[in-house]
Structure 1
Amino acid sequence: MTNGPQHQPSMTNLSRSRAIDRDGLAGATRPAGRYRWVVLGVATFTQAASGFFVQGIGAMSVHLERDLGLSTTQLGLLLSASQLIPLIGLLVAGELLDRYNERWVVGVGAGIVAVSLLAGSAVPGYAGLLLVLLLVGAGYSTVQPGGSKSVASWFETSQRGLAMGVRQAGVPLGGVVAAAALPLLAGAAGWRATLVAGGLVALLGAIAFMGLYRRPPIATLIPPAAPPPPPAAPAPPSPFRERLRMLREPSMVRSLVSGTSLVSVHSGIGVLAVLHLHEAASVRAEQAALVLVAAQAAGVAGRVFLAAWSDRVRSGRYTSVLICLAAVTVAMAALMTPAGRSPLAACLLLVWLGFFGIGWYGPWVAYVAESAPPGRTGFALGLAMAVTQIAIVLVPTVLGLLKDLTHSFVPAWGLLTAMTAVALAVTARRRR
């Protein structure tokens, strides 16, 4: 047992650790060397690879409706199925990320995505495809928050927005490749072949992350902060209840309101863009899929540019999110006018929606990470993503049902427009 002066070094290290944790990301203030760019690259690739197949479902909408005899509602259910388990899985993943190395949490999740898709290529029909996508969502639950935490821990505040934007560009980046490749593969070899392709791509992502990811070296030099002493109250609240108190924090409220509306827009682009161009604007299915490719590419650019810009906005990182809300509201309102039936105007509006309606995620996730309580970055990311996941599950099916019942895209775009307008008004006022 040691005491006196021999105990001072550990207390000094503990104080340094807590000082770093005040930024919300232990070890993030002094990232080591150039390896952080390797971490950023592999996290981005794994994100793109794990979401590759699901991001391509919207581009294959015409093929899936024809080959499986689906309605727009059933097509929306496919997207909803892939996002159902993450409602709970993201919370579990956030807890695991605060306890264990991201290398294994993310790698195993990406591996589950790969195995599910490869095995799913043998399932019969629509019901089997729904089951496969449920399993894919279970694996993907760890990839999204895990990759975000891994990148955030390697980059200091002045570069974190750019890094998170590049990393979050993995989702639309995978969508760009999927929207270009999967419809061609489905037309040539059938929809089952697209599951094999998606499984192989996800497997590459799992292998790359487990093989290349390392924790920041500073994490090995400074011990984690010790837990605070127990309160004097006889019946302290459970740790889980303490963490759920984050839901009352103003920054988390802003994150959830804006994130829910904008993630709904992203879902709407995925399920409606190709069908809107094909049916409302009389664009051929192949050309409509290419427009979705362009919208996804705009989303890649948006996630990087908007996040990098948020690093330098004096009024705060959330300003970028407010601008996205405003830009998306205007574009979707225009889709409900005669401009939405013009092939050229509709294409331009959807690319605009891609830049802001997909690009918003870069600055948003950086804002969530930096607003997290000390030592709770993983759980805060998982919590925010789990709550917004409710919209990801419900919105594709609701939009498809609205379109099937009304035989028009106007109610669907109108619902999304109203959501973003309300979110803009509420969060801008709360921010002031």
Structure 2
Amino acid sequence: MSSNKTKWYEDSRFGMFIHWGLYSLIGVDEWIKSINHMSDEDYDRLVGKFTADQFDADEWAAAAKQAGMKYAVFTAKHHDGFCMYDSQLTDYKSTNSPAGRDFVREFLDAFRKAGIKVGLYYSLLDWHHPDYPHYGDINHPQRNNPAAKGVERNFQRYLDYMHGQIKELLTNYGQLDIMWFDFSYPKMAGETWQPQKIMDMIHQYQPQMLIDNRMEGSGANYGTILSAHPSNYAGDFASPEQMIPPKPIVNELGEPVPWEACITMNKHWGYNATDDQFKSTSLIIHTLVECVSKGGNLILNVGPTPLGTFSAPTKKLLAEIGEWMAVNGEIVYGCTTAELAKPEWGRYTQKGNTLYAHIQEESISAFPIAVPKEQIKQMTLLIDGIEVKATDYWALSAFKEYSYIFLHQDVTIGYPLPDPKDTVVRIELT
């Protein structure tokens, strides 16, 4: 359920996810260690090659800000267990690589300076720690290795390590706005993580910080965040991945639940050297508008190169999104679901008494707007501020009994549409 604590998050609507780590050096997938059943010996050779020669956190922050993103989440530790910060609990960290840098600190400093809210991703899994379940675990790289069978593991020792690292992040890096925990799966969910200890630390050190729902639920399982009585570690927002819910997410009482869709730019989270199937700017914009129209956020992922740079297609896409957001940002920030059914030609979003009609499909006819004429004070085209008037075209007279006004494809909304990505009409209501 929405609250004062989540207001900034719901007003922001658009964020950046950043997946970067040792796996970027292989340039295939952030799950590559698991996919290829790699041993620690083979995978850990990457540490000596991790130089990040061209990393510049200020450039990352500038790109996010120009794209109109209001918050960002960076991977402090992914499933491979390699820490992108100077953890005192392990030597398996970026400060012990040739890069010799605390990337978490540099990320936080740069994004805060740019006025962007900051969050850290922390994997509950750890394929490097000797006490994390190996043989028989459904995800561990050594899950099918007979040599890993029967080896004594002390899972409580791993939990103490994990809780200690979370405490480091909560206490050594200033105010955090989000902690993005990932992820839960069969036999490794909920109470398995001893979440009360984690929540006690959050309440003590970062009481205003938001967390996602994945200590308890991942994938199709949102956990008790949708319950009328959620657990105290159910999270502050739901996190559907690589999909947009068909309708706004609500709990059992019908109350809206804050949520964000985490979506990749191409087909991978981490850097993939051969994946050139980047989504179009129009598709990303339509996805952002769809999320807002359903009361949700979009957190768009970037997978930096091994050198620490954003790839050319990534920078191009962010710049083009930013050009659109510079004109149309008001339909994102602070906006939410409109109490109108989705129209055939696009979507509605709303902020207070201002309704936004997002015309995303061309038409040979007029665009019906499901608002009676007497409820409209003024309509303007967002792209240039020109006034838009309802048409009185004679052929529409048969539809006068419906509670619609119609916008014709005339000089104002011509053919093709003024903004082929998303032509927005601002409708000020009485």
Q: Which bin holds the TM-score, normalised by the shorter protein?
A: under 0.3
Choose between structure 1 and 2: higher helix proportion: 1
The TM-score with structure 1 as length reference comes to: 0.22
Choose between structure 1 and 2: higher strand proportion: 2
Structure number with larger C-alpha Rg: 2
The TM-score with structure 2 as length reference comes to: 0.22
